[in-house]
A = this chain, B = another copy of it.
Amino acid sequence: MNNPHRIVLASDNCAGVHPRVMQAIAEANHGQVSSYGYDPYTQVAIQEFKKILGENIEVLFVSNGTGANVTALSSMIQPFEAVVAAQTSHLHEDECGAPERITGCKFISVPSQNGKITVDQIQRTLVRVGDEHRSQVRVVSITQSTEYGTVYTLEEIREIADFCHKNQLFLHVDGARIANAAAALGVGFREMLRDTGADAVSFGATKNGLMMGEAIIFFGKNRFPNAKYFRKQNMQLASKMRFLSAQFIPYLAENIWLQNAEHANRMAKLFYQKAKHLPITFTQKVEVNVVFAILPPEIIEPLQEKFYFYVWNEYTNEVRLMFSFQTTEKEVEKLVLELEKLLK
């Protein structure tokens, strides 16, 4: 539970709303407009996505990240088909079974140490194609950046996408932290997603400065024409949509996505630079805005008195420290100091 005196490193969704985004919301509160996305703000927001990703896309705004993942997948798959994703993925670990219950599909988990999966692993799930006793793999879902803070390179994404298309599979990207990945790679969304061959993206922004609302992007037109029905049936269609979509206008047009993501990534790296000499084990490469580390068990509770963060693995005492666009350098320094103190 929240304690206002603690510094928050539990999740980037504990952060607030970027002021420019808040301003856009306030400005959208003008007059009466059509509901359910047939309003001018939503149209402009879609145009902003097209400027970045190209004309040939479909954009659907939804209420939240789980809703984005499940609705994108619902639109791409039949209930007797299967989705392959890392065992560590949000789909498998953090959506309370929504993927299975709502799509009706089997979600096949592939072991992963760092949140990433490989073509070899996907290949091995493609057995008994056409056998009605087995759920037929139709979608591969990867997370960029991953739940473990690692980032697929463009080559890795392209290799997976190519493999998918050779095998009549679709590639879905869970982009809850897509901006952090793009910032880390120093590339744009078009290079990272469209040019590599992704078919659909859950384009997250809430963790990076929006208030709420995410976007589903499908590459290509009319490839998944049922998506609008699934958005409604999956309870993801906001009536006063303009207040979701308006947030994306400055976020995309004014590069807020990049500033916020670069800042958050920098805070994680700053912490890592300052803490790497300490007697703790860093369990993942620090590529974006999160650090995983094994702490001595006796310092975890004392540290939690001043810093709000999660123990990620109760068995190994691995903790997750998540930095947001609102984390300050001062907070990072306090964390390092406190760690140094406790580790003595």
Which residues from chain A sit less than 8 Å from chain B, CB to CB? 1-2, 4, 8, 10-11, 13-17, 19, 22, 25-26, 28-36, 38-40, 63-67, 70, 74, 78-82, 93-98, 100-102, 104-107, 109, 111, 124, 127, 132-136, 206-207, 211-212, 226, 228-240, 243-244, 308, 314-315, 324, 326
* Whole-angstrom distance between the Cβ of A310 and the nearest chain B Cβ: 10
Out of B32, B132, B234, B238, which one reaches A326, CB within 8 Å? B32
Interchain residue pairs with CB less than 8 A apart (27): A2-B33, A2-B38, A8-B33, A16-B30, A16-B32, A17-B29, A22-B25, A25-B25, A34-B308, A63-B238, A64-B235, A64-B237, A79-B97, A79-B101, A80-B232, A82-B97, A94-B134, A95-B133, A96-B229, A97-B104, A97-B105, A98-B234, A100-B105, A101-B233, A124-B315, A136-B229, A212-B212
Asked whether A26 and B29 contact (CB < 8 A) given A96-B80, A133-B96, the answer is: no
For residue A134, which residues in chain B have a CB less than 8 angstroms away from its CB?
93-94, 96
CA distance A39 to B96 in the complex (A): 21
Q: Which residue of B lies closest to A10 (CB)?
A: B34
B136 near A239 (CB under 8 angstroms)?
no
A235 near B63 (CB under 8 angstroms)?
yes
> How many copies of this chain does the complex contain?
4
Closest 8 CB pairs of A and B: A80-B229, A8-B32, A13-B239, A101-B104, A2-B34, A67-B235, A97-B106, A97-B135
For residue A25, which residues in chain B have a CB less than 8 angstroms away from its CB?
22, 25, 211
